[in-house]
Structure 1
Amino acid sequence: MDMKLDGGGLSPFRNFTRSEWAALRADTPQPLRPEEIARLQGLNDRLSMAEIEEIYLPLSRLLSMYVGAAQKLFRAMQKFLGPEENGKMPYIIGVAGSVAVGKSTTSRVLQALLARWPNTPKVALVTTDGFLLPNAVLQQEGLMGRKGFPESYDLPALLHFLSDIKAGRRPVRAPLYSHFHYDVKPNEMAEVDQPDILIVEGLNVLQTSRPPKDGKGIPFVSDFFDFKIYIDADETILERWYVERFMRLRETAFRDPAAYFHRYADISDAEADATARGIWRTINLVNLRDNILPTRQRADLILRKGGDHEIEAVALRKL
């Protein structure tokens, strides 16, 4: 994939090298301690102090400006139209990208940093995994092999959740997902109580479909987003990261007999490697090519990763 998104010189994006982007930090202080950074990184995702300072601090500064401008506009509209009943509209940030690209780590870091800004002390994080259809339903519909594809989600429930958030209702409940059991947690919900910012992380959150000719179609998930982030990396790198994560889980979570993938704990290393690559190429790569990568151009910000998990370049949509 080429990070340069110019279409014959007419690109909607402004491209930054890592050093150019790092300079935008200005005097933004570093609020995270090394032990906090260690807790924020994912199982197979490396997160250094340099990554926080050179990539995420400039990004948190930028997002704080976007949120501040939106809050100012909201107050002006209240003055113009009269105050709404709830009097608050949360700012919603969508984070998209492939399996194993590091969406969860990026989302957690942004949550931690944005909560330090004085105008956004309350930052919530929700993953769309909780809106996957339960395994029993996926099995009944023959969709277990397409888990994570757009059709495997309870889209009406996700749209209803985002609509309630944007309307300022409180509290709003979101279902939870267990990666250990590889299924939605029955009767377990998280409450989101009118945050200043909501970060929504998921594979297909930027996806659209062909609009209906009568103009009456349901909205897209991304219609509720105020800012959209896409995390990008080459397919070969993503496959390596996925296999590495699978092999590490084999030595940890998969060892528990109650784990959904316990059956992979005792196979040979060669069998495990072949299994992981088979899952990647028949499911995750297909989803990436068909559904996830085509949404990259819809993002407001693209973070381009290299093989060492560090972000090498940034593309920001022009105003």
Structure 2
Amino acid sequence: MIKVPTKDEKFSPFITFSREEWKELRASTPLSLTEADLLKLQGINENLSIEEVSDIYLPLSRLLNLYVAATQNLYDATNTFFGNKNQKVPYIIGIAGSVAVGKSTTARILQALLSHWPNHPKVDLVTTDGFLYPNRILEEKGLMKRKGFPESYDLKRLIRFVADVKSGVPEVTVPVYSHLAYDILPNEVQVIRQPDIMIIEGLNVLQTAGYGNQRHMPSVFVSDFFDFSIYVDADENDITRWYVERFRVLRKTAFQNPNSYFHHRYANLAMEEVDEVAMQIWNEINGVNLRENISPTRFRADLILEKGPDHSVKEVKLRKL
């Protein structure tokens, strides 16, 4: 299928595909996931279907496979030029988007699909949650209510990690964040050992000094090391509704765990209070972060997944080469 640009697209850095147009690009790519697999991969309140994977994520995995193969060939040529035939450099994919928009699910699906391609079977997934400052530091800095904002991350450590991976360092560690404890686990790390592909998922991974609080921004950015980037997008009204729905589910499940950071805060909320509390958190924290820091990075992505009210992708924007 040859996509003919519309008049508006001629002046845009993106080519826009409807869902119907995009799904045709799957070609003959086989579906390697089952319904049981999807249940493990989808997030809270996301009814992910086989059709969604087939129509949206299979074409995307095919595109990424082609990009990875081309980049691997380029690395081989470069290593031959330098006489270094043993260096292995991972292809890095960044995934950004709001809280509750479904970027974690997108990351997990892509990890599962991409690992089935023969030329890059080892695909690691890292979330930037592990690079949040521990709660004790956030409390010292007065940033507990700014968790997820750019200044709440140890950006130097995050950039050093990505730079090491991209430089071919044999083994790199990542701090582990627990959503149950709502904090970094001091004695646990995730070990990254030269994967073929590394997916980095986080709220602000596409951010530069042009957005948000510039005082906290370095001169080198995480996205400088990305080979490809994805932004998961939706109307803010839909994201807000998904956040409230997720909060309802968490109040009945995770928050009931006595070990949960939120157990004493929200486990015993009356049902009529749940939506009010969720909306307060959204309006004071997550909504502000979305508008000030996350959403402005949308057009820095190589590909944008536009979701509709039911969480399904209705449109795909791909940056022109």
TM-score, with length taken from structure 2: 0.94
Query: Quick check: 2:9–2:15 contact (8 Å CA) kept in 1?
Result: no
Query: What secondary structure does 1:180 align onto?
Result: coil
Shift of 1:256: 1.4
Query: What secondary structure does 2:173 align onto?
Result: strand
For the pair 1:188 / 2:188, whether they are aligned, the reply is yes
User: In structure 1, what is the equivalent of residue 204 of structure 2?
Assistant: 204
Deviates more, 1:224-233 or 1:252-261: 252-261
The within-5 A match list for 1:209-224 is 209-210=209-210, 218-224=219-225
User: In structure 2, what is the equivalent of residue 22 of structure 1?
Assistant: 23
The letter for the 1-side match of 2:139 is Q
Give the CA RMSD over aligned residues: 1.7
Distance in 2, matches of 1:254 and 1:274, equals 17
Note the residue ranges of structure 1 that are not aligned, 5 or more in a row.
212-216
Distance in 2, matches of 1:267 and 1:115, equals 42
Shift of 1:143: 0.4
User: In structure 2, what is the equivalent of residue 177 of structure 1?
Assistant: 177
Distance in 2, matches of 1:151 and 1:12, equals 30
Distance in 1, matches of 2:199 and 2:208, equals 19
Shift of 1:46: 1.9
Shift of 1:218: 3.4
For the pair 1:229 / 2:230, whether they are aligned, the reply is yes
| Deviation digits for residues 221-267 of structure 1 (CA, Å, limit 9, x no counterpart) | 10010000000000100000000000000000101122111121111
The letter for the 2-side match of 1:267 is L
Distance in 2, matches of 1:51 and 1:235, equals 21
Query: What secondary structure does 1:316 align onto?
Result: strand
Distance in 2, matches of 1:64 and 1:30, equals 14
| Deviation digits for residues 131-151 of structure 1 (CA, Å, limit 9, x no counterpart) | 000011001100011100000
| Deviation digits for residues 35-74 of structure 1 (CA, Å, limit 9, x no counterpart) | 1111111112221000110000000000000000000011
Query: What secondary structure does 2:11 align onto?
Result: coil
Shift of 1:9: 4.9
The letter for the 2-side match of 1:79 is T
Distance in 1, matches of 2:47 and 2:186, equals 32
User: In structure 2, what is the equivalent of residue 292 of structure 1?
Assistant: 294
What count of residue pairs does the alignment treat as equivalent?
310
The letter for the 1-side match of 2:65 is S
User: In structure 1, what is the equivalent of residue 116 of structure 2?
Assistant: 116
Note the residue ranges of structure 2 that are not aligned, 5 or more in a row.
1-5, 212-217
Distance in 1, matches of 2:305 and 2:125, equals 19
Query: What secondary structure does 2:317 align onto?
Result: strand
Q: Percent identity?
A: 59
The letter for the 1-side match of 2:36 is E
Shift of 1:272: 1.3
Distance in 1, matches of 2:19 and 2:244, equals 27
For the pair 1:249 / 2:247, whether they are aligned, the reply is no
Q: Which runs of 4+ in 1 moved over 4 A?
A: 5-9
Distance in 2, matches of 1:133 and 1:170, equals 25
The letter for the 2-side match of 1:45 is E
Shift of 1:187: 1.6
Distance in 2, matches of 1:184 and 1:229, equals 26
User: In structure 1, what is the equivalent of residue 129 of structure 2?
Assistant: 129
TM-score, with length taken from structure 1: 0.94
Shift of 1:81: 2.3
User: In structure 1, what is the equivalent of residue 274 of structure 2?
Assistant: 272
Distance in 2, matches of 1:308 and 1:113, equals 23
User: In structure 2, what is the equivalent of residue 99 of structure 1?
Assistant: 99
The letter for the 1-side match of 2:135 is N
User: In structure 1, what is the equivalent of residue 214 of structure 2?
Assistant: none
Distance in 2, matches of 1:243 and 1:37, equals 23
Shift of 1:6: 8.9
Distance in 1, matches of 2:10 and 2:193, equals 44
User: In structure 2, what is the equivalent of residue 63 of structure 1?
Assistant: 64
Distance in 2, matches of 1:235 and 1:210, equals 22
Structure 2 CA distance for partners of 1:166 and 1:6, relative to 1, 3 Å: farther
User: In structure 2, what is the equivalent of residue 283 of structure 1?
Assistant: 285
